[in-house]
């Protein structure tokens, strides 16, 4: 799976501009899908199976988009001012490199600060793409870019930008490959615009009208020095979400996930996340309501250019998702 993960994380797909990621995923899923479509907002919807006795219509969602930046102004001397797409933090920017989706590359510099202890606010940062004037600057207002950072394979641990949420895209692709006969009608959705407020998942879920919704996304961990207090750690298995700040997972879904993991001998952790949410937040509220939950991948340094996951967690997440989707489901 590592080569697939590398390809996915190195693609550039800021929110609203996911096409290169979508093209890549489409190629991977085409041999295994029963139906593929792209909706008005660019969500890639991949169907596997048809609903049979005991089965449900299920939507799973992994988002294709990543955080990035968008140009607001080109200065007379060619420096590029920008604002953020999604939850970029200024302390991860200075000295970083960005790649525009039109191929232009640049480095982020900052104005001189009064004190070296301070962090630049975004209005004091700029992108230097090597231009000397506005006239020879190859980007314009409204152009978008992502952070550039090569995939790093540390063996058991994998590091990359956009691990949030390409790791889940990889998990959904791998799950599709391994899915055999199932009574469920499964819509593996690769969503858009999650990072700017779960905007793609709402219309995708409206179109699918699922009976059960599951997002697959990364979650924070509490296992780094003097980090946040949280009972999720890398390497202890995928996390089954109980709640986050946008969703209380349906308790029947939590039980179903826990029982499935235990039956299949797959390690898991229970997740209670204080800040942040996932596509399931949007799915649960579509139409007359959808029982929803989330399969989380523990991830360190989320929304930095170096997000770290554990490869065993990834493989166990695939195993759990395959087990969840393969059998008749009775929520109770």
Partner 1 sequence: MDPQNLPLDLLERLSNACGVSGDEGEVRKIVLEAVKPLADEVKVDALGNVLAIKKARGEPALRVMLAAHMDEVGLMIVDEEEGGLYKFEIVGGIDPRQLPGKPVWVGKDRLPGVIGARPIHLTTPEERKSAIAAESLRIDLGPEGGKKAKPGDRAVFATPFKVVGPSVMGKALDDRLGVATLITLLERAPSHLEFQAAFTVQEEIGLRGARVAAYTLNPDLAFALDATPANDLPTWDGSENTTYNARLGHGPAVYVADGATLSDPRLVRFLLQTAAAHHIPYQIRQPGGGGTDAGAIHRQRSGIPSASVSVPIRHAHSAVAVARLDDWANTINLMLHTLQALTPDILAPERS
* Catalytically annotated residues: 194
What are the angstrom distances between the C-alpha of 102 and each of 13, 56, 95, 144, 289?
11, 42, 21, 8, 40
Instruction: Give the Cα separation of 148 and 101 in Å (integer).
Output: 11
Number of residues that bind partner 1 (CB under 8 A): 34
> Are the beta carbons of 287 and 206 closer than 8 angstroms?
yes
Backbone phi, psi, residue 81, to 5°: -90, 150
Q: Under rule CB under 8 A, which residues in 102-161 are in contact with partner 1?
A: 123, 140-142
Contact with partner 1 (CB under 8 A): which of 35, 54, 83, 113? 83
Per-residue binding letters, 185-204, with partner 1 (x by CB under 8 A) = -------xx--x--xx-xxx
- Least Å distance, CB 39 to partner 1, is 5
Half-sphere exposure of 74 (CA within 13 A, CB side): 17
Q: Which lies closer to partner 1 via its Cβ, residue 38 or residue 107?
A: 38
Count the Cβ atoms, other than its own, within 10 Å of residue 290: 23
Region of 13-21, 87-95, 224-232, 313-321 interacting with partner 1 (CB under 8 A): 13-21
Alpha-carbon dihedral angle through residues 135, 141, 142, 148, given to the nearest 10 degrees: 60
The verdict on 17 binding partner 1 (CB under 8 A) reads yes
Contact with partner 1 (CB under 8 A): which of 34, 35, 72, 133? 72
Burial 71-108 (b: 16+ CB within 10 A, else e): beebeeebbbbbebbbebebebbeebebbbbeebebeb
Region of 33-41, 49-57, 177-185, 230-238 interacting with partner 1 (CB under 8 A): 33-41
The verdict on 25 binding partner 1 (CB under 8 A) reads no
Per-residue binding letters, 197-236, with partner 1 (x by CB under 8 A) = --xx-xxx-xx-----------------------------
Contact with partner 1 (CB under 8 A): which of 28, 43, 48, 254? 43
- Least Å distance, CB 40 to partner 1, is 4
Instruction: Give the Cα separation of 37 and 202 in Å (integer).
Output: 16
Q: Could you tell me where the beta strands, DSSP code E, fall in 76-133? A: 80-85, 97-100, 105-110, 125-128
The verdict on 305 binding partner 1 (CB under 8 A) reads no
Please tell me whether the peptide bond between 103 and the residue prior to it is cis, using omega within 30 degrees of 0: no
The verdict on 277 binding partner 1 (CB under 8 A) reads no
Structure letter (DSSP) for residue 66: B
Contact with partner 1 (CB under 8 A): which of 12, 15, 253, 254? 15
The binding site for partner 1 (CB under 8 A) comprises: 15-17, 19, 22, 38-43, 70-73, 75-76, 81, 83, 85, 123, 140-142, 192-193, 196, 199-200, 202-204, 206-207
């Amino acid at each position: 799976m590592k080569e697939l993960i590398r390809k996915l994380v190195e693609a550039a797909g800021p929110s609203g501009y996911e096409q290169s990621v979508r093209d890549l995923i489409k190629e991977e899923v085409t041999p295994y899908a029963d139906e593929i479509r792209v909706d008005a907002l660019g969500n890639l919807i991949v169907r596997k199976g048809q609903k049979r006795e005991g089965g449900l219509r299920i939507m799973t969602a992994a988002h294709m988009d990543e955080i990035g930046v968008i140009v607001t102004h080109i200065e007379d001397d060619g420096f590029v001012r920008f604002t953020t797409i999604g939850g970029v933090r200024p302390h991860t920017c200075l000295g970083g490199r960005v790649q525009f989706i039109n191929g232009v590359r640049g480095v982020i510099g900052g104005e001189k600060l009064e004190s070296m202890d301070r962090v630049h606010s975004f209005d004091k940062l700029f992108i230097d793409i090597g231009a000397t004037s506005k006239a020879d600057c190859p980007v314009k207002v409204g152009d978008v870019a992502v952070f550039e950072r090569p995939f790093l394979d540390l063996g058991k641990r994998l590091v990359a930008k956009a691990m949030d949420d390409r790791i889940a895209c990889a998990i959904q692709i791998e799950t599709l490959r391994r899915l055999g006969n199932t009574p469920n009608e499964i819509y593996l959705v690769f969503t858009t615009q999650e990072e700017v407020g779960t905007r793609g998942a709402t219309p995708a879920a409206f179109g699918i009208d699922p009976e059960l919704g599951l997002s697959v996304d990364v979650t924070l961990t509490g296992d780094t020095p003097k980090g946040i207090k949280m009972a999720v750690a890398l390497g202890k298995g995928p996390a089954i979400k109980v709640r986050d700040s946008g969703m209380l997972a349906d308790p029947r879904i939590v039980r179903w996930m826990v029982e499935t993991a235990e039956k299949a001998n797959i390690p898991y952790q229970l997740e209670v996340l204080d800040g942040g949410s996932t596509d399931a937040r949007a799915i649960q509220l579509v139409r007359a309501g959808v029982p929803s939950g989330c399969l989380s991948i523990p991830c360190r340094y989320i929304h930095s250019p170096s997000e770290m996951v554990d490869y065993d967690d990834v493989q166990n997440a695939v195993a759990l998702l395959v087990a969840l989707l393969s059998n008749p489901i009775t929520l109770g």
